[in-house]
Structure 1
C-alpha cells in the first residue's frame, strides 16, 4: 500500500487494516472457502469463550482449549516467511493439525494426564516437546524473533546448568522434568499469561471487535467532541477522551490512533494544530489509552491473577491512586 499524502490519514477499512498490520504484524486475508472456514473457527472460538464465562469448566481443560484455538489459527493466519502471505502452505496445515493433536491429547486423556506430571510417559514427552516447539513457532510468527530468542535462551539454560560457571550453575533439568513443568502443570505454558488471556483478554478482544464493526469509534469521537468541543482546547481534549474510550476496549494502540485520527485529524487542523502536533496528540492518545488506568492493558488482569483479587478491586485501587 502506498503511503497516504501528507496531512491525510487512511480512511477505508482496507487502508486502516494494512496500516495496523505494518506495525502489529502481517496476517493473511484469505478469500473463498478457506476464509469462510477460518471465520467459522473464530466464531466457534468466540462462542466457546462467551459460554465459558457462565459455565463450569476445569481450569486446565479451559486453558488447553484456548491455546488449541490460538495455535490452530495462528499457523493459518500468520505466514511463516516472506512470500507466504497470499496462500496457506502445506506446512501451515501440518502445524495446525499438530496443534490439535498435541493439545487434544491433554483433553482426551485428562484424568490420567494430570497424575503423570512428575513422571511423564513416552507419549507425554512426545506431545509435550511438540507443544513447546509449536508455541515457540507461533511466537516467532506473531511477535517476532526477539521474544523467541529470550524464551529459547531460558530453555537452554534449564539444560545447561551443570556446565555453567558460578553463580549461574545449577543441577539442571532433564527432559522429563522440563516437559512436566511446562506442559503438564499450571505453572508453565498454561500459567498466568494463558489464564489472563483465556479469561479476560479474549473477552475484551471480542468486545473491541464488536465496537470496531459497529462503528462505535465515530460515536466515541462524537461523544468526546460533544463533551469538550465548546472549550478553547476542545479539539485536543476530545481526541484524548475519544482515544481513552476506544483504546481500552480495543486493545490496539495503532488501530485506535488510526480510527480516531481519520475522524478527528481534519478537526484538529481547523482548530489550528500543525501536522506534527496533531500527529503527536493522536499517537500519544491511541498508544497511551491502552496502558492508562483503569484498563492498564493486560497488566491489570495480571495483577488480579497474581494477587488473587478481583479485577474490580484492581480498578478501584487504581482509580483511587490516580
Structure 2
C-alpha cells in the first residue's frame, strides 16, 4: 500500500497531539511557574542554576527562571518553606539544615528538602609559598595566619573545622581570593585554604609570579576528614598547575540540585529526566556539568531523593538505598 506524504504528516501531527494531550493531562497538579535559587551573580551557581532553569522552562513549557540568593544555606531554607521550588546546595550545609543546625534557622530541621541529581565537586586545597618551608599539613606552625576566603563561604565554614580536626592551631583571616593571594605573596599571611573550583585563578597567578607549594592531605589525614565531615575523596590532577608533578590528594564537597519534597512527582520526574538525559545541553550551560551524571548519585550521603527522581533512577537501572528514599 502506498502511503502519501500527506498521510505521514497527518499521522505525525495526530500522534504529536495525542502526546501533547496526554502530557497536558498529566500536568494537572504541576505548578504554574517555578524559581531556582542560585547565588550571587558571576559565580558558578548563578550561571549553572539560571541556565538549568531556562532549560526546564523551554523544554517543559513551564514559566520559570533563576533567582539571585545568598547561596546554599539560603537556598535550603527557601526550598524548605516552599518559597522556591528548586535550588542548588552543597552537602555540608544540607547536613546542617537537615539536623536543625542551619545558621539561618537554628533548631528547625529542614526536612522538606529533597535531592535531585549531582552537579559537581568543590575541592578543598592548601597553598603556601615555597620558602615558607610548609610542605605538609603537619608542617603548618602554631599560630599560622591562614586565609579561608570570604566570611561565611563554604571554605570559611568548613576548612577551619577540618584543620582543627587535624590539630592545626591558626589565626583566621578572611577576604577575597585575589586579595588573599596578594597577602600570601607579601608575607601578611602564611597559608591559603581554598574551597573553590580548580584551577583557582589566584593560585595560577601566584605560581607565575613566585614559587609555591600545593599541600596535599596524607592518606591518614584524608581518612580522618572523610570520617568527620560530609566530603568525598578527591585528587587534584597534576595537569591543573605547573607546580604539581603528580596528582595531589585532597577532599571535596559535592553540590546537588534540590527540590521541595512536596512538589508533584511527575513534575520532578520530568525535570530529572530532562537534566540527566541531555548532558550535552547541561555542559553547554556550564562545563562543570560534565559530572552532572547519574553515576555520581552516591555522593549524596545526606538528603532523601525526591520520589520523582527515584522513579527515573530506578527505571534506568540505578539503585537508591532505602535510607536515601523519602519516608
- TM category, shorter: under 0.3
Whose helix fraction is larger, Structure 1's or Structure 2's? 1
Whose strand fraction is larger, Structure 1's or Structure 2's? 2
